[in-house]
Chain A
Amino acid sequence: MANRIAEPPPPGAATPAPRASPIALLFKLGLPILAALLLIAIPSFLGDFRLGLAAKYLCLAFPAVAIVLIWGYGGILSLGQGIFFGLGGYMMAMFLKLEAAAQDNTGSALSQFYGSNLPDFMVWNSVEALPWWWLPFHHLWFTLGAIVIIPAVVAFALAYANFRKRVGGVYFSIITLALASIMAIVIIGQQGVTGGANGITDFKTFVGIDLDTESAKRGMYFTTVVLLLLSVLAGMFIIRSGFGKVLVAIRDREDRVRFSGYDPAMFKAFIFAVGAVISAIGGAMFTMQVGLASPSLVGIVPSIEMVIYAAVGGRLSLVGAVYGALIVGYAKTTFSENFAEHWFYFIGGLFILVTMFLPQGIAGLLDRFRASRDRN
Chain B
Amino acid sequence: MTFDIFVMQAFNGLSLFTVLVLMALGLAIVFGLMGVINMAHGELMAMGAYTTYATAQLFAKFMPSFMGIYFLVGIVFAFAVTFIFGFLLERGLIRFLYQRPLDTMLATWGLSLVLQQVFRHLFGPKEVGVPTVSWLQGAWQVSGDIQLPLSRIFIVGLTLAVSVAVYLLLFKTRWGLRIRAVTQNRAMSGAAGINTERVDAMSFALGCGLAGIAGSSFTMLASTGPVTGQQYIVDTFIVVVFGGVESLLGTFASAFLIGQMQSTLEYLLSGSMAKATILLLVIVALYFRPNGLFAAKVRR
Contacts and interface: CB of A to CB of B under 8 A. Distances in A.
A344 interface: yes
A351 interface: yes
B110 A349 contact: yes
B137 to A, nearest CB: 34
Contacts of B109: 304, 351
Please indicate which of the listed interface residues A71, A185, A308 has the most CB atoms of chain B within 10 Å of its own CB.
A185
B120 interface: yes
B252 to A, nearest CB: 19
Interface stretch (B17-25, B187-195, B283-291): B283-291
Given A308-B106, A356-B107, A344 B272 contact: no
A348 B110 contact: yes
Nearest to B269: A189
Interface stretch (B46-54, B94-102, B126-134, B157-165): B94-102
B65 to A, nearest CB: 39
Interface string B85-123: 000000001001100111111110111111111001100
B283 A170 contact: no
A173 interface: yes
Contact of A170 (B102, B116, B121, B276): B102
Interface in B219-234: 230, 234
A347 B113 CA distance: 8
Interface stretch (A11-19, A31-39, A159-167, A225-233): A159-167
A356 B283 contact: no
Interface stretch (A136-144, A174-182, A320-328): A174-182
A352 B237 CA distance: 21
21 contacts: A169-B101, A170-B101, A170-B102, A173-B37, A175-B283, A177-B234, A178-B237, A179-B283, A182-B276, A182-B279, A185-B275, A186-B276, A308-B106, A311-B106, A341-B117, A344-B114, A345-B117, A352-B111, A354-B106, A355-B106, A355-B107
Interface in B226-274: 230, 234, 237-238, 241, 270, 272-273
Interface residues of B, number: 40
Interface string A336-372: 0000011011011111101110010000000000000
Interface residues of A, number: 43
A166 B279 CA distance: 20
Given A162-B287, A185-B276, A355 B110 contact: yes
A167 B272 contact: no
Contacts of B113: 344, 347-348, 351
A300 interface: yes
A79 interface: yes
A307 interface: yes
Contact residues of B: prevailing secondary structure: helix
Contact of B105 (A79, A179, A354): A79
Contacts of A177: 234, 237
Contact of B280 (A77, A182, A189, A344): A182
A147 interface: no
A254 B107 CA distance: 25
Given A348-B111, A349-B110, A351-B110, A173 B105 contact: yes
Nearest to A175: B283
Interface string A297-322: 00011001001100100000000000
A71 to B, nearest CB: 8
Contacts of A350: 110
B40 to A, nearest CB: 10
Given A348-B114, A351-B113, A77 B105 contact: yes
Nearest to A167: B290
Most buried by A among B93, B117, B238, B275: B117
B237 A174 contact: yes
Contact of B114 (A170, A179, A182, A345): A345
A9 B126 CA distance: 71
B93 A348 contact: no
B267 to A, nearest CB: 16
A185 to B, nearest CB: 4
Interface string A168-202: 01110111011101100110110000000000000
A179 B279 CA distance: 8
Contact of B273 (A167, A185, A311, A349): A185
A300 to B, nearest CB: 7
B279 A181 contact: yes
A359 B280 contact: no
Q: Which of A162, A170, A171 has the most CB of B within 10 A?
A: A170
A165 B120 CA distance: 42
Contacts of A189: 270, 272-273, 276
Given A178-B234, A182-B280, A170 B273 contact: no
Contacts of B106: 304, 307-308, 311, 351, 354-355
Residue from B103, B109, B112, B117 having most chain A Cβ neighbours under 10 A: B109
Given A166-B290, A185-B273, A347-B113, 18 more contacts: A79-B105, A162-B290, A167-B286, A167-B287, A169-B102, A170-B102, A171-B241, A175-B283, A179-B279, A182-B276, A188-B272, A304-B109, A344-B116, A347-B110, A348-B110, A348-B111, A355-B106, A359-B103
